[in-house]
Each structure stands twice: as structure tokens, then as C-alpha cells.
Amino acid sequence: MDTIKVAVVGFGTIGSGVAKLLLTQGDRIARHAGCRLQLTRVVDPDVTRPRNVQLPDGMLTSDLSQVADDPEIKVVAQLIGGIEPDRSIMLRLLESGKDIVTANKALLAEHGAQVFNRARELGRSIAFEASVGGGIPIIAAIGQSLTANQIRSLRGILNGTSNFIVSKMEESGADYADAVREAQRLGFAEANPAMDVNGSDAAQKLAILAQLAFGARVRWQDIPRIGIDRLDPADLRYARELGYRIKLLASAQLVDDSLELHVSPTLVRVGRPLAEVREAFNAISVVGDAVGPVFFHGLGAGQMPTASAVVADMIDMVTGRTQITFRRLEMWSHRPSCVSMRDYAQLTARYYLRFSVEDRPSVLAQITGILGKHEISIASVIQHEPTNGEQGDIVPLVIMTHSASEGAADSALKEIDQLGCVRPPSVRMRVLDEANSGSA
Ligand SMILES: NC(=O)c1ccc[n+]([C@@H]2O[C@H](COP(=O)([O-])OP(=O)(O)OC[C@H]3O[C@@H](n4cnc5c(N)ncnc54)[C@H](OP(=O)(O)O)[C@@H]3O)[C@@H](O)[C@H]2O)c1
């Protein structure tokens, strides 16, 4: 059996998981690859810190040139993270003739065009299964298995940290800050979880999926996004009372041949698969015009789930499968976008609205009057007695609407927040449209 030399650059959480799989599961990997993947070098600035895998003497080095300048190393799993030096190192390794496996969604979302086009010019390939959904094989599914389809919609819980925090808030009634601390204690959130909780990480992953599924050339920064960082436990309770759970959904949907993209906390009907995704799990619901609804669920992060995707990509590289698909992939190519983006103000949804209002006559009429003026019709209203947490005569008023445009909903809420009887800011969240949600 042939042997192909491979390397790992970045010996952190995922890099050590990849090294562990390559070193302990060599026979199984060789059976699937048709050749042995011989881990030859592992590069990391820190060659002393203990990891949970023992490397053979001399394999670990802080000198990248031992990989870049070794022509026998064909495939590199580059697992550093961030933008720099990851981008420069990727370009250097491509120039040195290596094919790259990456898990770095931030780098791809920011500089995908540069690294993909350089790889194409050099006749090299980049595999990136682990960049979205960790261990869930969503890139292979969309990029290969579902290519007979026009994808109609794609909705995902793409950030496990946010899902863990929202699940904790819902299950234990914890407030946002306590749930974040719990996530940090258990290793599900970083010391600074801003990118996870403000929707940016999910938007980066959505930008990658939108490129792959719809040929959309979209910058992740241009995807409208709202995170969970201002989520109030009261909304989780009221949503539950109405038969919904709140999930941070990343959503892409074709409407009249233009693409709607957004990341937002969304009410999902209890019992729907996306509503039941708990803790740090990820899930993606895809609807294709031929296949219909397909649902993916699994661990979207963590050492071994992510290493599973990285090593599968390394196997695909040595078998030559990636090189074939990469050549045909239109992602970040010079071709124009295959689809136009729908203006955010025109997107439509049903909404959950919560107002904190004075408990006196005519308040409801004033609010419904403004909603009516903006052509937003009401599906249901709940008004509660003041609870201990609410002061004096201020009470919550929860309204579920029928379908309305973002623009109309935004204008109506701005106007309502000006009313003397309302304590702003009012809360507005989308409700997943069951008619268009496929298996979601
Ligand atoms: N962790 C997950 O669950 C997960 C899931 C999906 C995708 N990913 C992605 O996987 C990638 C790696 O994540 P991770 O969690 O493994 O990060 P990590 O634990 O921080 O590991 C990164 C490693 O790279 C090292 N490094 C820094 N600069 C380097 C350089 N110039 N050359 C070689 N190594 C260098 C770091 O060393 P120092 O610590 O000394 O700086 C660290 O050991 C990221 O792109 C991340 O987004 C992670």
C-alpha cells in the first residue's frame, strides 16, 4: 500500500484531535483512503504544552519550513484559526504545492476569494467541511450529494454556543449572564463569546453555505443579523406559552428567484425538529426541489467531531476526490453571483411582539391602531397581570402577527415605542413560517 505524507499546522484543540485520529486509527483510515496517511510533522509555536495525544519524538516543531519545504508532504490540515497568520500561512503552503484542509470559517468568510483563487491558479485544492457544522457533513451534502437539486431553503442552528445558552435559559429559567457563565464553565463558550452570541459566527457560516448552495457572492458583514445577547427569559416563557421555542436561526431562502438571508432569534413551533435541538448541538434543514426536505443534526463543534470532518477531508484529498470537486466548485470564483439578494426591508415573516405597557384603558387600541396603519394584522394577543419583576402598573403585552414585511414591522415598532404608554424598547422576533419550513 502507498504512503502519503501529511502534516498538521496548529496543535490546539482540533489539531490534537486530528493527530490522535491519524496516529491511532491508521489502519481504518488506510482502508478508506486506499493508502496510508503518514503524519510526518505537527507545527505549533508551543512545543512544550502537554496535549491529550503523544506524538513520536521529533514530530512536533515550531518551524513551518519543515512542512513548507518538504516536497513529500502533500496534504496539510491547517488548524490555527483567526485571520492572520492563518491566511499568510495558507498562501505560503499553497505556493509550496500543498493541498489544504481547513476548519476556519472566519478566514473563508473574509478571504475565501483570495485563497480559493490562488489555489485554483496553482492547481491546488482547499477542503473545508469542518468550517460549518463541525462534524455534520453539510458541505459534502450540499456540494456533492444534493447537486441535482435547486436548493430552495436552508435553515440552521449553526452556533452551538448560542444554542447551549438559549437551551439553559429555557430549561432552568437562568438569565442570559448566568447561562453564559455556565457555558464558559463547561467549555462551550470562549472567554469572549461576542462573535458567537451576536450572530456573527452564524453569519460567517451562512455566507459559506449561501456561496455553496446558491452561488451567492455575499459578504458575511452584509447579512442582517441579530444575536441572542439581548434575549430576555420572559420571551422564552411567553413563546413557550404560545407553543414555541426560540432558536438562533441562520436562514437562506429563495423567494421569486432572489435570496433572503438573515440570522435572527426565531420562534419555532415545539415539536418541529429545529425546536428540539438542545445544548450545543447544531442542525440544518435543507429543502431541495427534487429531494424535498432533508435534516442534518449533530455536534457542530468539539475536538473529535471536528477532527472527524477534517480527517475525512484529508482522506478525500489523498484519494483525489476533493481535487475533482474543487475544480468544479464555483465558490468565490470570478463568475458573477448566480442570484440577487432580496432587500431586507421587503422580507416577510410573522412576528412575535412584546411591549411593556401601562396597565390602563386605550393602550391596546393605540398599539393595534399603529399596527393596522402599517398593514400588520394581529393573530393573537396575550396580556398578563404584572409579575414581581415588573414595576407598578407596567404589564407585558404579547402580540402574534400575521405575515408582514420587515420594513413595515420596523416602522410600526419605532412609532409604538414613541407612545407615552409604552416603555421601550419593544421586542420583535420572527416566527418560522411552517408552510415554507420543510422538515424544519
Ligand atoms: N474548537 C472547535 O470546536 C472548532 C470547531 C469547528 C471549527 N474550529 C476551527 O478550527 C480551527 C482551530 O480551532 P481550535 O479550537 O483548535 O483552536 P486552538 O485550540 O486555539 O488551536 C490553535 C493552535 O494553533 C496554534 N498556532 C498559533 N499560531 C500558529 C502558527 N503561526 N503556526 C502554527 N500554529 C499556530 C496555537 O498556538 P498558541 O495557543 O500557542 O497560540 C494553538 O495551539 C479554528 O479555525 C476554529 O474556528 C474549531
225: helix, strand or coil = strand
Centroid of ligand 1 to alpha carbon of 147 (angstroms): 32
Q: Rounded to whole angstroms, how far apart are CA atoms 260 and 251? A: 8
CA of 14 to the centre of ligand 1 (A): 7
Looking from the CA of residue 9, the nearest atom of ligand 1 is: 33
Q: Check residue 95 and give its pLDDT.
A: 98
Q: Is 80 in the pocket of ligand 1 (CB under 6 A)?
A: yes
Extract the residue ranges of the chain whose pLDDT is less than 70. 386-392, 435-440
Query: What does the CA dihedral 272, 276, 282, 288 come to, rounded to 10 degrees?
Result: -10
Neighbours of 31 (CB within 10 A): 10
What's the confidence (pLDDT) of residue 196?
96
Indicate if ligand 1 lies below 6 Å from the C-beta of 15. Answer: yes
**What pLDDT score was predicted for residue 15?**
97
Atom of ligand 1 nearest to the CA of 15: 16
pLDDT of residue 389: 55
pTM: 0.95
Residues 6+ apart with CB under 8 A from 414: none
Place of cell 429545529: 274
Whether 45 lines ligand 1, by a CB cut-off of 6 Å, is yes
Q: What is the dihedral of CA 285, 286, 287, 290, to 10 degrees?
A: -130
**Residues 30-66: tens digit of each pLDDT:** 999 999 999 999 999 999 999 999 999 999 999 999 9
pLDDT value of position 440: 60
205 is catalytic: yes
> Could you tell me if 40 and 6 are in contact, meaning their C-beta atoms sit under 8 angstroms apart?
yes
Residues across the chain: 440
Domains with residue ranges and CATH for the chain: 3-134+323-328 (3.40.50.720), 138-299 (3.30.360.10), 345-431 (3.30.70.260)
Is any ligand 1 atom within 6 A of the Cβ of residue 43? yes
DSSP secondary structure, 157-197, as one string: E--HHHHHHHHHHHHH---HHHHHHHHHHTTSS-SS-HHHH
CA 76–ligand 1 middle distance (angstroms): 14
Cβ atoms 35, 68 nearer than 8 A: no
- At 150, phi and psi to the nearest 5? -90, 115
Question: Beta-carbon neighbour count of residue 92 at 10 Å?
Answer: 15
Ligand 1 midpoint to CA 439 (Å):
34
- CA of 223 from ligand 1 middle (Å) equals 26
Most informative mutation of 100, 104, 306 for ligand 1 (most atoms within 8 A of CB): 306
Residue nearest to atom 39 of ligand 1 (CA): 12
Residue 391 confidence (pLDDT): 57
Q: Give residue 1's pLDDT.
A: 85
pLDDT of residue 437: 60
Distance from C-alpha of 147 to C-alpha of 398, rounded to nearest angstrom = 43
- CA max distance for the chain: 83
